[in-house]
Amino acid sequence: MANAGLEAADDLAPLEAAARGPKLLRVARTRTHEIGPTARPVAVPENLGDLSLPKAMGQVELPLHVRWSGPPMTYDLDDPIDRARVYEQVLREGTEDDVRFYIDPDQLADIFDELVLPASVREVWAGWLDRHRHL
């Protein structure tokens, strides 16, 4: 009897692999420069350093359009590791309003080289930092 269940699972393995295969190929074929992460605009507000705008401090929970994968999480912006995770997500997924609220330009400059960012996002923000370092 124990072998009967094992044989049934073995019989399904090729079907499961076939079902997964074409889906992966379709996803891979849809990634182009016009569709996918590199096509997404990067939000870079000109007034990021405006001190009159409200800024996030302490414990924060990112909105769903920024942290859309996984359960809600609370981050502590006073913790360097949490701050880096928030900055990565906001720079990748956030709107200009999100960037203004969650990102401190001085702290961004301090940790920028340590952030894990897609090349397209890193390139845009590296340019912004180069233009604004002297301010």
117-129 residue pLDDT tens: 999 999 999 999 9
76 against 18, higher pLDDT: 76
The predicted pLDDT at position 25 comes to 47
Contacts of 120 (CB under 8 A, 6+ apart): 37, 38, 40, 42
Residue 33's pLDDT is 59
In terms of pTM, does the model score above 0.75? no
Q: Residue 41's pLDDT is what?
A: 85
How confident is the model over 45-85, as pLDDT tens digits? 988 888 899 999 999 999 999 998 888 899 999 999 999 99
Are 73 and 67 a contacting pair, CB within 8 Å?
yes
